[in-house]
Amino acid sequence: MQPVACQLLAAARARGHIGPVFGAGAPRDGVGLARQRHTVTISQVAEAAGVARSSVSRAFTRPHLLRPDTVERIKAAAARLGYVPNHSARALSTGLYGNLAMIVPDVANPFFPPMIRAAQDAADDLDFCVLLGNSNEDPANEDRLVGKFVAQTEGLILASSRLPRKRILDHAQRRPIVLINRDVEGIPRVLIDSASGVAQAVAHLAERGHRTIAYVSGPASSWSDKSRRAAAEKAAARLGVTLITLPARIPSFEAGRDVTDVLIGTEASAAIAFDDLTAHGIMEGMMAHDRAIPGDFAIVGCDDVLANLTRPPLTSISSRSQEAGQLAVSLLCELLRSRSVKDARIVLDTQLVVRQTS
């Protein structure tokens, strides 16, 4: 059975989001030796299973390329003999360590842990390990992390990268890179298109009678923020609604709470926040000013990661972060294997999830 990430990649290709792809694993020749009580070689496993050496390698690195019964037979033989792939031995002969890196801007933001977990699971299916870096919303720190990981990994996933476009392209000359929520031509990327969800949010608030809506923005270097703001402006113009934009800069609970005084001083009766953390902060700030939610002020978040934690439950724009993490790993493995997805651009749409804050 194919790993989940490979199935998602195939589905995305079927929808026409990317061009032909011919597999989802990286070249993993030369799987090393395992030392337990005695040395068991890949040749011994191949002989015991009645297959070629290359099939043993694929069973541990690209199982989707083999019949399920073949993979089961090979792994049963390996378990019986005590064989375990040794990446250290492989690294000595190939210079490759079986590691991927993933860098996120804020590991504490609840948007990212599901993405990280999905990426780790997808990588594990393909016999890779994932090294995690947290840039703390700092492009200079992100740049340093990329430089460190280049020497330790076979490829990198940059999620919501804050790096300048040219710097991303420079790094891609050194190691294969896949982007999540950053649209750079020539680099494979997975984009969660929140524009559709934002447009639905503006229409929803307009239907509720709100004539002035605030968009509380995120980091200036964020591709997602630019996309969401543009979608809000377009929808507001189409519906004859006034849209004002307020900066929160670093998406956080504190930023949302701190912008509340400014919001109260405007004509806005509703706000769409860059993310759920910021929206939650706005909720707390409004309640501290004795403003009822949604009676006095309506709030919509983005990413849909806090609905079960806020009171009342937060209206938010859905996120497909788990799917994005899985697809990014699959694209990166394809890039390592054949470069066939060099300019792949997969777009995941979003929907408004209406709850009790709007």
Kindly state whether residue 358 falls inside one of the protein's structural domains.
no
Does residue 333 carry a pLDDT above 70? Answer: yes
Give the Cβ contact number of residue 152 at 10 Å.
11
Kindly state whether residue 356 falls inside one of the protein's structural domains.
no
List the beta strands (DSSP E) in the chain: 34-35, 39-40, 99-104, 129-134, 155-159, 177-180, 189-193, 212-217, 242-247, 270-273, 298-302, 315-317, 345-349, 352-353
Does residue 186 carry a pLDDT above 60? Answer: yes
Predicted confidence at residue 42, as pLDDT, reads 87
Does residue 18 carry a pLDDT above 60? Answer: no
The reply to whether 106 and 175 lie within a common domain is: yes
Kindly state whether residue 238 falls inside one of the protein's structural domains.
yes
The reply to whether 73 and 139 lie within a common domain is: no
Predicted confidence at residue 246, as pLDDT, reads 95
Rounded to 5 degrees, what are φ and ψ at 347?
-115, 125
**Of 208 and 336, the one with more pLDDT:** 208
* The two three-digit tokens of residue 142, written as one number: 């992100």
Torsion of CA 229, 231, 232, 234, to 10 degrees: 120
CATH of the domain at 231: 3.40.50.2300
Is the C-alpha dihedral spanning 121, 124, 126, 128 positive or negative?
positive
Number of compact structural domains in the chain = 3
Domain that holds residue 236: 195-317
**Of 7 and 101, the one with more pLDDT:** 101
The reply to whether 161 and 19 lie within a common domain is: no
Q: Which residue has the tokens 């709030």?
A: 299
Ranking 55-64, 141-150, 155-164, 340-349 by mean pLDDT, the lowest is 55-64
* The two three-digit tokens of residue 257, written as one number: 């709470």
CA-CA distance, 259 to 278, in Å (whole number)? Answer: 9
* C-beta separation of 215 from 263 below 8 A: no
What would the mean pLDDT of 160-164 be, rounded to a whole number? 96
The reply to whether 199 and 309 lie within a common domain is: yes
pLDDT in tens, 235-259: 999 999 999 999 877 889 999 999 9
Please classify residue 212 by burial: count the beta carbons closer than 10 Å to its beta carbon, then call 0-12 exposed, 13-18 middle and 19+ buried. Answer: middle
Q: pLDDT-based confidence at 40, cuts 50/70/90? A: confident
* DSSP 8-state symbol, 52: -
Q: End of a domain among 75, 92, 109? A: 92
Kindly state whether residue 59 falls inside one of the protein's structural domains.
yes
Element (H, E) at 148: helix 139-150
Kindly state whether residue 144 falls inside one of the protein's structural domains.
yes
The reply to whether 210 and 161 lie within a common domain is: no
Predicted confidence at residue 83, as pLDDT, reads 85
Read off the pTM: 0.76
Residues 6+ apart with CB under 8 A from 145: 101, 103, 133, 135
Kindly state whether residue 297 falls inside one of the protein's structural domains.
yes
Give the Cβ contact number of residue 349 at 10 Å.
13
Q: End of a domain among 92, 114, 144? A: 92
What would the mean pLDDT of 169-180 be, rounded to a whole number? 95
What would the mean pLDDT of 196-210 be, rounded to a whole number? 97
Kindly state whether residue 355 falls inside one of the protein's structural domains.
no
The reply to whether 147 and 295 lie within a common domain is: no
Does residue 223 carry a pLDDT above 60? Answer: yes
Predicted confidence at residue 9, as pLDDT, reads 59
Kindly state whether residue 354 falls inside one of the protein's structural domains.
no
Predicted confidence at residue 320, as pLDDT, reads 93
The reply to whether 219 and 296 lie within a common domain is: yes
The reply to whether 219 and 291 lie within a common domain is: yes
**What is the bridge-based pairing of β-strands 212-217 and 242-247?**
parallel
pLDDT in tens, 289-301: 999 999 999 999 9
CA-CA distance, 83 to 8, in Å (whole number)? Answer: 31
In this prediction, what percent of the chain has a pLDDT beyond 90? 69
* C-beta separation of 305 from 281 below 8 A: no
> What mean pLDDT, rounded, does the chain reach?
87
Report in angstroms the alpha-carbon separations of 304 from 63, 254, 272, 278, 353: 34, 18, 13, 12, 8
